[in-house]
Structure 1
Amino acid sequence: MSLALQETDDFIGETLSRPLHVLYQDEHILAVFKPAGLIVHRSKLTLPHEPVLLQALRDQIGKFVYPVHRLDRPTAGIVLFGLHSEAAAKLVQRFTDRHIAKYYQALVRGFTDDTFVVDRPLQDKFGEEWDPGSTEGNPLQEACTEFQSLQRFEVPWESNGFPSSRYSLLEIKPITGRWHQIRRHLNHVANPVIGDHRHGDHRHNQMMHQMTGVYRMLLTAVRIDLRHPYTDEMLTVAAGRGSEFDRAIEALRALSVS
């Protein structure tokens, strides 16, 4: 079974102005499109009146939902929930066993190889004083990400002494699930995600905003493949990149000289 949603609102301000896009729902599981800027569940850093995906979804469908994985606040895309504790436990186990495949698309700085793999251990975030150069208190863990270039763009935007700027649209499959894994792996190979204000390139982030009006981080979880935990049927949930992401791609295509 395959389900897809092509039109998605992918960025929010302080409030949710429209209902969330539910991509799939049955009696056991639910998939929803999380806009960029929205956190999945509340933490000690969440502001008192800040919208939260879990709460907004529960209010919208009138049922309690159980989180089984998360996306970073600035990342848009598909998030799965269990609709009861047993379903959530089954989904968590499938994530742990790597039986659920997640695919992302990202716009990055520079041209990349057609296909490449980054197999580089990462330290998961340790408290609020995370140090990317230290492993004290939190050891390095296996981290592997597969990448495929979908399209390349060269546009006449001067940058760093060059007359043009280069970008690549990538499809990404993380094999493991470490903190900010995709963003950190891309930064490691000097192809940071556009709009990533923590691990990215400030000049290119600012230029993309000035030239296209797009400010959000251009990373979206666009597909999840899994076997249904109760029917064992193969289920593919797919979504578009989001309206802001699409606007950036359309602008690059219109201006591209390569």
Structure 2
Amino acid sequence: MLSTSHSRTSLPVIFQDESLIVINKPAGLLVHKSPIDRHEHQYAMKMVRDQIGQWVYPVHRLDKPTSGVLVFALQPEIARELGLQFMSQSVKKRYLAVVRGFTALGGIIDHPIKETAMFKSDKKKYEEKTAKDAVSLYHQLARLEVNEPIDRYPCARYSLLAVHPLSGRQHQIRRHLKHLSHPLIGDAKYGKSIHNRFIADYFGVSRLLLHCHQMRFRHPTKREILFLEAPIDDDFRRILQVGSWETGTHLNSILT
């Protein structure tokens, strides 16, 4: 066992038993130590380890700016079993996303994705790789029109989506929504800076508006189906509460 000295911030636990622990990862927190963020000394794996006083093993990842359901195994063999579930695409995931413009009510994004290099020195090697199949499903939960001119349009329009990735490629949802011409709000890499700035100024929300809201998979030892849900944070909640969204009952279930 490790020392049980706790970090100053405890991460919210969604589920915990003798096999795994599931947290609601905040936006802006790394899952584990990364060579591309050497200046970061706080990351979820270390914080959870210190919080519960034992080693934890990541079985999947969320991008640093993405929040939501994050699963850690408590033993290496559990990590391997859960890893197989993620690799076989049997884990069901539902993300919430706020994007630019009014989307269709729903659809399938079938667009292959090529892995990108983390470092310039590896760029040529990755350019030679072939793109891999990637599929995401989405449906529109609500839409918002703000009577403020932006870019070349007389008003600003946004959609709240539920996105279900059927594969697990690098930055899949972010890249798929860009491909759809409805990029995520707050996405510095794939988004539209003019909309990111507008949302930051108008709503006071500057984070990436992508949240892993729900996850479903088979428990590695008990074999029952686990359904996990992570509440949205205050920033995500603010844009959904302050804006006059056109919606049915979908939004109420997210906010309660």
Query: 1:40-119 residue pairs with structure 2 within 5 A?
Result: 40-48=31-39, 50-119=41-110
How many angstroms apart in 1 are the aligned matches of 2:121 and 2:134? 17
Aligned-partner residue type, residue 82 of structure 1: A
Is the Cα–Cα contact under 8 Å of residues 155 and 255 in structure 1 kept in the other structure? Answer: no
1:239 to 2:230 alignment: yes
* Secondary structure of residue in 1 paired with 2:199: helix
List aligned pairs for 1:136-175, cutoff 5 A: 136-175=127-166
- State the Cα distance separating 1:163 from its structure 2 match: 2.0
Give TM-score, length-normalised by structure 2.
Answer: 0.89
Give the equivalent residue in structure 1 for 2:251: none
**What is the aligned-residue RMSD (CA, Å)?**
2.2
1:193 counterpart = 2:184: yes
Gaps of 5+ in 1: 1-15
Distance 1:118 1:255, change over 3 A: closer
Tell whether the 8 Å contact from 2:98 to 2:184 is kept in structure 1 after alignment.
Answer: yes
Q: Structure 1 residue 34 and structure 2 residue 20: aligned? A: no
CA distance in 2: counterparts of 1:215 and 1:48, whole angstroms: 21
> What is the letter of the counterpart of residue 63 of structure 2?
D
Distance 1:213 1:102, change over 3 A: same
Task: Quote the Cα distance in structure 2 between the aligned partners of 1:142 and 1:158.
Answer: 38
d(CA) in 2 for partners of 1:87, 1:150: 35
Pair 51,253 (structure 1): closer, same or farther in 2 beyond 3 Å: same
Once the two structures are superposed, residues 193-238 of structure 1 have per-residue CA deviations (whole angstroms, 9 ceiling, x without a partner) of: 0000100010000000000111100000000001111111111000
In the alignment, the residues of structure 2 paired with residue 111 and residue 216 of structure 1 have an alpha-carbon distance, to the nearest angstrom, of: 20
1:220 and 2:211 matched: yes
1:113 and 1:131, CA in 2 relative to 1: closer, same or farther beyond 3 A? farther
Shift of 1:45: 2.2
Shift in Å, 1:91: 0.3
Kindly provide the CA deviation profile for residues 156-207 of structure 1, in whole angstroms up to 9, marking residues without a partner as x: 1211232211100000100011111100110111100000010001000000
Q: Does the C-alpha gap of structure 1 residues 229 and 152 become closer, same or farther in structure 2, counting only changes over 3 Å?
A: same
CA distance in 1, matches of 2:76, 2:13: 20
Shift of 1:46: 2.8
Task: Name the CA shift for 1:88/1:36 in 2 (closer, same or farther; >3 Å).
Answer: same
User: Can you give the 5+ residue segments of structure 2 that lack an aligned partner in the other structure?
Assistant: 1-6, 248-256
Q: One-letter code of the match for 2:239?
A: A
Residues paired across the two proteins, number:
241
Query: Structure 1-normalised TM-score?
Result: 0.88
Structure in which a larger fraction of residues adopt helix: 2
- CA offset digits 1:2-53 (Å, max 9, x no partner): xxxxxxxxxxxxxx86310010001001111111110001122233552111
